Chains A and B, each alone.
Chain A
Amino acid sequence: MITENINLLTAIIAIVTASACALPGVFLVLRRMTLMSDAISHAILPGIVLAFFLTHSVSSPLLIVAATATGILTVVFVELLQKTKLVKEDAAIGLTFPALFSIGVILISRYSKNIHLDIDAVLLGELAYAPLNQLDINGREIGPVALYVMGFMFVLNVTFILVFYKELKLVTFDASLAATLGFAPTLIHYGLMALVSMTTVGAFDAVGSILVVALIVGPPATAYLMTDSLTRMLILSVIIGSINALSGYWLSIFLNVSIAGTIASVTLLVFVLVFLIVPNRGLVSIARRHIRQKWEFAQTMLVIHLFNHEGLPEAQEESEIAHLHEHLRWEPSFALRVVKNALNNRYVLQEASQLMLTERGRAKAQRALVQ
């Protein structure tokens, strides 16, 4: 009974964490700033460690405040470096977050005797323990801390996006217009970055600083392939994030492996799957479209060829089925299939060993030549 309860709680924590992470992720993906989530998730470490030194507690709210502040500091540093124009954005990110992260690593290793933070937990987190860390109010345990923290982050993210939906959309699509209309793009930008920082630090305990990036980037990048509407992209991201979390969790129990690792792998797998099969934009439908276009184009070439020689002395020779592949320089088997398709589409008629254009085929040739 107890284990079932814990399994259920872990699954719920995973789903809530994934949903909370996916929401700000949508705007990071659209703003081409997904690397920033990587930077923030690492750079908040010194904030967490310093707050831990002050409070001697891993569940103090001060940890979230300090981590958020460090997260925003990361964004400021990256942008300052970028503004010098001596360093590009990717390099600025690559310089900033290891610097901050390493300060955290040094602090942990220097004072590791006194504290219960270790690097493994920071990098990977441990979802399995999340339900055990219960929120304690007046000696009564009222549920896992992680559930409250991520539940709060989910509600906060939803509220922020609902209230500032119009502003977020405008600033993301056209920051200059937003500025001229008096919507402070910088303010919205830092509001969003604060949310990313807070969500990341909240998810830290459960999934660690590397896999949280998969939760932030994966579902929105998948949803982006599936829809043309921002609202639907937001909703789909939450749904996809939840499905990934639930199926990843179930699979990890089945295989008896790391929960966070499995969820991240499933996230990637789902992305690849959607990337391949999504209608219109997926690789499979692109390939099918190319093949269809290839046959369509070959038939157009055939009718133009016949049309150009129609009624001329050489017409008989040019419309001989057996010689077509030589004139058009096609593989014989390819030429035969094109002829077969053209016959089926009633672009041409076969008379003895020769092809004759139908009215339909003539119209097709004329149409193609006019374009």
Chain B
Amino acid sequence: MQIQETKAIQVTDLTVAYRETPVLWDIDLDVPPGVLLSIVGPNGAGKTTLIKAILGLVRPAAGNVLIYNKPYAVQRKIVGYVPQRGSVDWDFPTNVLDVVMMGRYGALGWVRRPGKQDRELAMHAIEKVGMEKYTTRQISQLSGGQQQRVFIARALVQDATIYLMDEPFQGVDATTERAIIALLQELRENGKTVVVVHHDLQTVTDYFDWVMLLNIRRIASGPVEDTFTADNLRETYGGRIAFIKNK
């Protein structure tokens, strides 16, 4: 008998359906600790739904999700979530520091107010994403890339073990994208597990060490060099990919 290594995330037989239409079909996914994994697939492949199912935001029709061998409900505090930037109203009357501070709310629990220490942690996370000049800026006055950095700072301040990020590069300029990826790689060096929904196939091999190819079913998952192959991509995208630089 082989001793099983503890998985950071273990998804087994996960099916999510809206009415009778399956959005995710019998997904199995093992994410070992300390990898930087991208979830890749065409529009409507169920990438966001998979993230939401892991976080318990959508109810699966079948299957199970474990975070370090335990259900999400008892592991909330070790999971940080970066939703899609478009999922919130940026005209909300609040500033950068305030939004980043929301990342501390989970640790605080009900009713308790954030204090000096939470503020310091938030400031530290804001510095990490290079937004220290904008702490009191109203959030609607930020560019898309700045908003994305605020969201990442909010997840960083949770000091999680696992980070789930839904399209953190959406609408972000090239400089910011490189800054964010450097940050994610630093998280991985510190033993964190980072899962990113990603759109740009060109950068998968440069940015990530693991990849999951998804199109309602799981096509493949594993280290990029074994998994990110022309055959797997063709299966994921249904032959619509004309070229892909293959390692």
* A interface, CB within 8 angstroms of B: 30, 32, 163-167, 169-170, 172-174, 176-177, 179-183, 224, 227-230, 232-233
Contacts and interface: CB of A to CB of B under 8 A. Distances in A.
Contacts of A177: 81, 83, 102, 154
Most buried by A among B57, B94, B114, B138: B94
B97 to A, nearest CB: 11
A174 B87 contact: yes
A125 B87 CA distance: 41
A229 B95 contact: yes
A35 to B, nearest CB: 17
Interface residues of B, number: 28
Nearest to A173: B92
Contacts of A224: 93
B105 interface: yes
Given A180-B57, A180-B76, A228-B138, A173 B88 contact: yes
B57 A173 contact: no
B102 A173 contact: yes
B121 interface: no
A187 to B, nearest CB: 10
B105 A173 contact: no
Given A179-B57, A180-B79, A233 B93 contact: yes
A183 B56 contact: no
Contacts of B106: 181-182
Interface of B: 52, 55-57, 73, 76, 79, 81, 83, 87-89, 92-95, 99, 102, 105-106, 108, 110-114, 138, 154
Contacts of B93: 30, 224, 227-230, 232-233
A173 B89 contact: yes
Contact of B113 (A30, A166, A176, A230): A166
A353 B143 CA distance: 45
Contacts of B76: 180-182
22 contacts: A30-B89, A32-B89, A164-B111, A166-B112, A166-B114, A169-B94, A173-B94, A174-B83, A176-B55, A176-B57, A177-B81, A177-B83, A177-B154, A179-B56, A180-B55, A180-B79, A181-B76, A181-B105, A182-B76, A228-B138, A229-B93, A230-B94
A166 B105 contact: yes
B104 to A, nearest CB: 10
Q: Rank and list the top 4 A-B pairs by shortest CB-CB distance, nearest first.
A: A181-B106, A228-B138, A180-B55, A180-B81
Nearest to A165: B113
A233 B91 CA distance: 13
